[in-house]
Amino acid sequence: METIYWEVDKNVDSIESYPQIKKAADLLKQNEVVAFPTETVYGLGGNAKDDQAIKKIFAAKGRPSDNPLIIHIAKQEQIKEFVEEIPAVAKQLMEAFWPGALTIILRIKRGVLSPYATAGLPTVGVRMPDHPVALKVIEKSNLPIAAPSANQSGKPSPTSAVHVKEDLDGKIAGILDGGSTGVGVESTVIDCTDQMPTILRPGGITIEQIEKIIGEVHLDAALTNKEAKPKSPGMKYSHYAPDVPLFLVKGTKERLKLLINEAKQKGKKVGVLTTKEHENYFDADYIFACGKREDLETVAAALYEGLRSFNYKDVDIIYSEMFPETGVGQAVMNRLMKAAAHQVIE
């Protein structure tokens, strides 16, 4: 398959000015799959109502079929077509954070969405992305669009069209290049189907922000206990991993420096994921400064680019700093833990 590649201004304000968006939407209506930017990461979109379109998403990504897909909409009215009810707490969250990096789990009406998109579950995750290109493509297609991250399953999520092309060129119908994404980590997922809302995945909207709007929320036990069964099927899979082993180092930068030196003495080539504050402190074979430690939003924005970068460097092992689990730091550490397969050097 030849993948069509379009460039489009990320601040697109009218569909008429960008025929590329109409072409992408036409492909979606033909049940093909197309990658497009959102404010979090690039998504791989397909018609959420069509079994064949959803199967194409799973095939392109190599994604397990019991891992449900998030449905993206351009207008809140779309949700009424396939959602059974919208609880009051969900309405509050939509009012506060949509469009934005928040996915809300709701109960579905049967027979509207492809069961492959929901993995046969009675619930579905829905969000309205905060990106002009994404919104215009969805609006023009006039469809609910299932869109997981546009990468090979298990690899770091794509924050640029170049990342998408590396993983999926020749496997999908098209890629809309709207430049780099902003948030850098995926949306927060919150289940609003029970009395107490539960965070299933930390992400671009922080728990602190959510609790300011709706009060106390629970955290899925699997977020703090790797032995617990995750409530969200997709959270049981390994994600975001670079091609060589990654270890998270608990403790001081002096401790990390000692580990680097020990590994080099054993003849290993060492990569380090660190921050701007510490990048000149370490003597490693490759160093990626992932934002500023004092501003964890910059760390989140650069995290996946950093994890991907090690695949193109001659390193045998990667050590990473750990980060405070406050604000978006919780999402950063969630992704790093998965990328490292929970390998932490105490």
Q: HSE on the CB side for 213, CA within 13 Å?
A: 16
Compute the distance between CA of residue 166 and CA of residue 186 in angstroms, rounded to an integer.
19
Whether 157 has a binding-site annotation, put simply, is yes
Whether 72 has a binding-site annotation, put simply, is yes
What is the secondary structure of 262-273 as a DSSP string?
Answer: HHHHTT--EEEE
Question: How do strand 42-47 and strand 34-37 relate by DSSP bridges?
Answer: antiparallel
Compute the distance between CA of residue 101 and CA of residue 118 in angstroms, rounded to an integer.
20
Whether 218 has a binding-site annotation, put simply, is no
Q: Give the helix/strand (H/E) hosting 320.
A: strand 317-320
Whether 24 has a binding-site annotation, put simply, is no
Whether 201 has a binding-site annotation, put simply, is yes
Q: Give the helix/strand (H/E) hosting 35.
A: strand 34-37
Whether 127 has a binding-site annotation, put simply, is yes
Whether 309 has a binding-site annotation, put simply, is no
Whether 293 has a binding-site annotation, put simply, is no
Q: Which of 234, 153, 250 is nearest to 191 (CA)?
A: 234
Q: Which of 41, 61, 7 is nearest to 307 (CA)?
A: 41
Whether 147 has a binding-site annotation, put simply, is yes
Compute the distance between CA of residue 85 and CA of residue 107 in angstroms, rounded to an integer.
7
In the annotated binding site for ATP, the residues are 63, 67, 123, 149, 157, 201, 240
In the annotated binding site, the residues are 40, 63, 67, 72, 123, 127, 147, 149, 157, 187, 201, 240
In the annotated binding site for L-threonine, the residues are 40, 72, 127, 147, 187
